Amino acid sequence: MSVLKQRPILVVGLGPAGAAVANFLARLGLEVIAIDRSAESQLSTRLRIGESLPPDAKHLLKQLDVWQTFKAANHQKCYGNQAYWHTDKPTFHDFVQHPVGHGWHIDRAAFEQMLRDKAKSVGVAVHSNTSIGEMVRDGDVWQVELKSDDLCSNPREFSFVIDATGRQSWVARKLGIERLYEAEQLALVAFLQTSQDLKDSTSLVETVENGWWYSAQIPNGRVATAFMFAPSKQQQTVSSSVENWRSLLSQSQHTAERLGLVEGKCEFVLLAPPKIVAADSGILQQVCGKGWLAVGDAAMTYDPIASHGLMMSMVSARDAAGAINGLIDGRDDTLGMYAQRMCQSFMQYCELRRGFYGV
Ligand SMILES: Cc1cc2nc3c(=O)[nH]c(=O)nc-3n(C[C@H](O)[C@H](O)[C@H](O)COP(=O)(O)OP(=O)(O)OC[C@H]3O[C@@H](n4cnc5c(N)ncnc54)[C@H](O)[C@@H]3O)c2cc1C
């Protein structure tokens, strides 16, 4: 029997990438333990930026066996994107030409919950409020200290560890692997409750003097907004205060207009104080190694202009499960192929990004 089948696989992080890879692995008949440092109540209610899913997501959601559940949920249909990118004339990318006809602006918390529920239903042992301590590789086995109230036998043995901790790449960093940055960027994120839905369902992007705005209608009368900026240029002037957020918003034209800010009236309330989050592009120096690999943002991050982080998380989860399955079948090249595919995707993305920013 393959050593990979003799002990469970540990997935660290239960965002979209972690829940997806756990699901794929469990459906291959492998024993999977998946942990997240957040408490269950946080996981199911947290407000997180990243809601645009393109029409192509349908295929992956089917592969994850969640398509019917996804379709029945309260996600908002999105018929395209519009951009005022260094011009006053909008460009439209209309999804109507796509066979699926539309993408989605998802209820992110509900989407993640759906992926975790699916992982549980196929046999993944899910532990929230749990993080990892010491991690040592002993021959073909990882000895990992799990820190939580309900997992007391420590350290535990695992055959393989998957880093799905998002852009902090917690496991990879523990192994001493650095991240290479293509571009540094921050985002000032705010979620609004509006009295009525926006007039159109598109994602809107708009450049302003020192950055760009993104806004999208999301379910339950909410709107997600983010102001993207380069830290080196703006660090002194962007803060997460409501006054600063409002002042930056008023420097936009189409975004402010869309939100009803221009006439002096305010047609929304902030659901939480604005927050500054990382929105850089980068990739790990090494996305996998003996007995471990990274998926989703832990492996690499895209600029939000690509609107591709969720898709990449699920695609990398599927490819990672395929690579592990290949190892079990006795092929020793599958991790190398996984790494190659990830690097190629990142390089293609960098080309696209440079085209957008003209750098
Ligand atoms: C401003 C902005 C806008 C975006 N917009 C879009 C968009 O419109 N469409 C799109 O597709 N993508 C978008 N993205 C990107 C998208 O949100 C990410 O690509 C996606 O969240 C990656 O999923 P993940 O599972 O890899 O990581 P995450 O969602 O970050 O999940 C990581 C999980 O790991 C857990 N964790 C972290 N550290 C530990 C630890 N030490 N131990 C245990 N658990 C841990 C966390 O609690 C979390 O649950 C956007 C990103 C930004 C910054």
pLDDT digits (tens, 9 = 90+) for 266-287: 678 999 999 999 999 999 999 9
How far is it, in rounded angstroms, from Cα 189 to Cα 186?
Answer: 9
- Atom 6 of ligand 1, residue of closest alpha carbon: 50
Distance 88 CA to ligand 1 centre (A): 32
Enter the tokens of residue 8. Answer: 């469970």
Q: Which atom of ligand 1 is nearest to the CA of 17?
A: 25
What pLDDT shows up at residue 141? 96
H-helix or E-strand containing 84?
strand 80-84
For residue 68, the Cα-to-chain-centroid distance in whole angstroms is 22
Q: How far is CA 227 from CA 5, 154, 190, 197, 353, in A?
A: 46, 44, 9, 20, 17
76 has pLDDT over 80: yes
154 has pLDDT over 80: no
236 has pLDDT over 70: no
Tell whether the torsion through CA atoms of 225, 230, 235 and 237 is positive or negative: negative
What pLDDT shows up at residue 127? 95
Distance 296 CA to ligand 1 centre (A): 8
Taking residue 298's Cβ as centre, other Cβ atoms within 10 Å add up to 30
310 lines ligand 1 (CB under 6 A): yes
Backbone phi, psi, residue 52, to 5°: -85, 120
Q: Is the pTM of this model over 0.85?
A: yes
Report the CATH architecture of 185-278: 2-Layer Sandwich (3.30)
165 lines ligand 1 (CB under 6 A): yes
H-helix or E-strand containing 294?
strand 292-294
Distance 272 CA to ligand 1 centre (A): 19
Residue spans in the chain of domains classed CATH 3.50.50.60:
3-51+107-182+282-357
Looking at the chain, the whole-number percentage of residues with pLDDT higher than 70 is 97
Q: Which residues contact 274 (CB under 8 A, 6 or more apart)?
A: 188, 189, 190, 240, 241, 242, 244, 245
Distance 145 CA to ligand 1 centre (A): 24
- Atom 31 of ligand 1, residue of closest alpha carbon: 15
Weakest mean pLDDT among 11-25, 263-277, 330-344? 263-277
226 lines ligand 1 (CB under 6 A): yes
304 lines ligand 1 (CB under 6 A): yes
Superfamily per CATH, domain 3-51+107-182+282-357: FAD/NAD(P)-binding domain (3.50.50.60)
161 lines ligand 1 (CB under 6 A): no
Distance 62 CA to ligand 1 centre (A): 21
Distance 151 CA to ligand 1 centre (A): 25
119 has pLDDT over 90: yes
For residue 315, the Cα-to-chain-centroid distance in whole angstroms is 12
Backbone phi, psi, residue 41, to 5°: -65, -35
Q: Closest Cα partner for 95 from 82, 79, 106, 83?
A: 79
What pLDDT shows up at residue 231? 86
Residue spans in the chain of domains classed CATH 3.30.9.100:
185-278
Distance 346 CA to ligand 1 centre (A): 17
What pLDDT shows up at residue 264? 59
Q: Which residues contact 249 (CB under 8 A, 6 or more apart)?
A: 213, 225, 227, 255, 256, 259, 261
Mutate to test the pocket of ligand 1, among 10, 11, 14 (most ligand atoms within 8 A of CB): 14
Q: Are 219 and 76 in contact (CB under 8 A)?
A: yes
Distance 139 CA to ligand 1 centre (A): 32
How far is it, in rounded angstroms, from Cα 148 to Cα 193?
Answer: 35
265 has pLDDT over 70: no
